[in-house]
Copies of this chain bind each other. A is one copy, B any other.
Amino acid sequence: MMKDAGAGGRDRPGLSRERVLRKALELADRDGIAALSIRSLAQELGTKPMTLYYYVANKDQILDGLVDLVFIEIATPEAGGEWKEQMRRRAHSAREALRRHPWAVGLLESRKAPGPATLKHHEATLGTLRAAGFTVQQTARAYSLLDSYIYGFALQEAALPIAGSEPMAEVAGPIMERFATGEYPHMVEIATQVVMQPGYDYGNEFAYGLELILDALEPAPADQEP
């Protein structure tokens, strides 16, 4: 059997691995990664479950593909420009991508097969650092440090129930009741004086840590201990 254009699904000018992954991305963003099943994905594509396995070996490959799609969205640094500015751009871009797709952070832990976009992104970043005068060792360390911060921040951001409008306030509220007993004074302090302030957005704190790290990183000599 072969139902090409316009048989089952409405606008389906031929399935493809690309289309499957794109729809998976859309579904993950809309309903969360937990709701992304082969069956729901197939239905959304106007197909039957087993059809997807023609384009994808298994669900793990879909998840791998999702992570790679997210990496596509991250600005690639160039070897030419000011390295700090390049790293800044990359970091902010990465954080924004991971905030658009919070589930991607949790996925990173279990992925073992980096996709082409991921590899290209890493390669470009390493290249920028090397071109700026970092030694191989320094590059590895700087990269590890920057990426750790980016991923870690994204992880914490993802762990906060974001919902739609008010980022905080309704999150801290219910928890607060539990320990109105004064058991956690410092957390209450932070919550009331920082987090629950009207215009507060945790995402803005990202720049603080990033600049602190960038200020401390320098290519040339530095670490004498190899």
Contacts and interface: CB of A to CB of B under 8 A. Distances in A.
Interface of A: 34, 102-103, 105-112, 114, 119, 122-123, 126-127, 130, 136-137, 139-141, 144-145, 147-153, 155-156, 158-159, 161, 175, 179, 183-187, 189-190, 193-195, 202, 205, 208-209, 212-213, 215-217, 223
Given A147-B152, A148-B152, 5 more contacts: A109-B155, A123-B185, A140-B194, A140-B205, A145-B209
Copies in the complex: 2
Contacts of A102: 109
Nearest to A179: B119
B161 A112 contact: yes
A13 to B, nearest CB: 32
A148 B107 CA distance: 17
Contact of A144 (B103, B147, B183, B209): B209
Q: Which of A137, A155, A193 has the most CB of B within 10 A?
A: A155
Contacts of A193: 136-137
A130 to B, nearest CB: 6
Nearest to A160: B112
**What 10 pairs across the A-B complex have the smallest Cβ distances?**
A152-B152, A148-B152, A106-B109, A126-B186, A145-B209, A151-B152, A148-B153, A123-B184, A109-B158, A140-B194
A103 B34 CA distance: 17
Given A126-B187, A159-B109, A179-B119, A209 B152 contact: no
Nearest to A151: B152
A190 B153 CA distance: 25
Given A152-B150, A190-B139, A193-B136, A145 B109 contact: no
Given A147-B156, A152-B155, A194-B140, A216 B205 contact: no
